[in-house]
């Protein structure tokens, strides 16, 4: 009888542990979905505020909303010399069409081409290419599934498949693609492939210095 009793106790303990693991997994999933909704709300709010700024004729300035002070995905600056921000993530009025268009990244303007571009976070090089809009560009895949893209480059210093470190340049700034001056066009993508506001992940960035209706 004693052995049977012990077997029943062991079986009950196993059931309790299984149920506990299921409960923990469920709570973790609910927390993940809540964070996703919060991220979407923040991006939606930023876009609305940016669009209102454009229509009122003021400078477009990205609103800094701190989502998680404990987040480990904090981006380093891709440019480590003098620069200024000409455009941030947000809606700008196209002077040709007079319509609002979403600018999907941050433009880091520098004095001349050839300045080194560094990864904002460690990752793997998944694209090294060119197209008419982005010019020469490099795309990195980061451990959390996000991607960063570095556009309007002059030259590459990495190849597809290489591991990128924040301590080593991956390219140099150029004036390729749709570009009027030497600058780095930087974009950040979430796991779904949609661009998101990179400003929320930098510790500090200068304010934009151009009017919203300027190309």
**Average pLDDT score, the chain:** 80
- Does 69 score more than 70 pLDDT? no
Dist CA 212 CA 214 (whole Å): 6
pTM for this predicted structure: 0.66
Listed in sequence order, the residues at least 6 apart from 100 whose beta carbon sits closer than 8 Å to its beta carbon are 51, 54, 55, 91, 92, 93, 94
Answer whether 162's CB lies under 8 Å from 85's CB: no
State the average pLDDT over residues 40-60: 44
Does CATH number 1.10.3330.10 belong to domain 1-215?
Answer: no
SS3 of residue 150 by DSSP = strand
100: nearest Cα among 54, 68, 162: 54
Dist CA 67 CA 103 (whole Å): 22
Answer whether 45's CB lies under 8 Å from 180's CB: no
Query: What is the residue whose two structure tokens read 């149920």?
Result: 19
State the average pLDDT over residues 169-175: 98
Dist CA 158 CA 114 (whole Å): 15
- Does 54 score more than 50 pLDDT? no
Answer whether 139's CB lies under 8 Å from 156's CB: no
- Does 106 score more than 90 pLDDT? yes
- Does 115 score more than 80 pLDDT? yes
- Confidence at residue 16, expressed as pLDDT on a 0 to 100 scale: 78
């Amino acid at each position: 009888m004693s052995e049977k009793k012990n077997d029943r106790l062991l079986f009950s303990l196993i059931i309790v542990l299984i149920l506990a693991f299921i409960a923990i997994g469920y709570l973790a999933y609910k927390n993940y979905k809540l964070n996703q909704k919060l991220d979407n709300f923040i991006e939606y709010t930023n876009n609305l505020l940016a669009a209102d700024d454009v229509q009122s004729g003021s400078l477009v300035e990205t609103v800094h909303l701190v989502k998680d002070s404990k987040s480990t995905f904090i981006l380093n600056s891709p440019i480590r010399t003098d620069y200024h921000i000409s455009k941030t993530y947000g809606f700008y009025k196209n002077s040709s069409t007079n319509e609002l268009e979403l600018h999907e990244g941050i433009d880091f303007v520098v004095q001349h081409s050839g300045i080194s571009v560094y990864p904002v976070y460690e990752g793997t090089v998944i694209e090294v290419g060119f197209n008419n809009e982005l010019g020469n560009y490099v795309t990195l895949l980061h451990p959390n599934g996000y991607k960063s893209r570095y556009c309007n480059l002059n030259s590459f210093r990495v190849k597809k498949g290489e591991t990128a470190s924040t301590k080593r340049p991956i390219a140099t700034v150029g004036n390729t693609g749709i570009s009027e001056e030497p600058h780095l066009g930087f974009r950040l993508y979430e796991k779904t492939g949609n661009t998101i506001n990179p400003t929320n992940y930098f510790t500090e960035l200068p304010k934009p210095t151009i009017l919203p209706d300027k190309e």
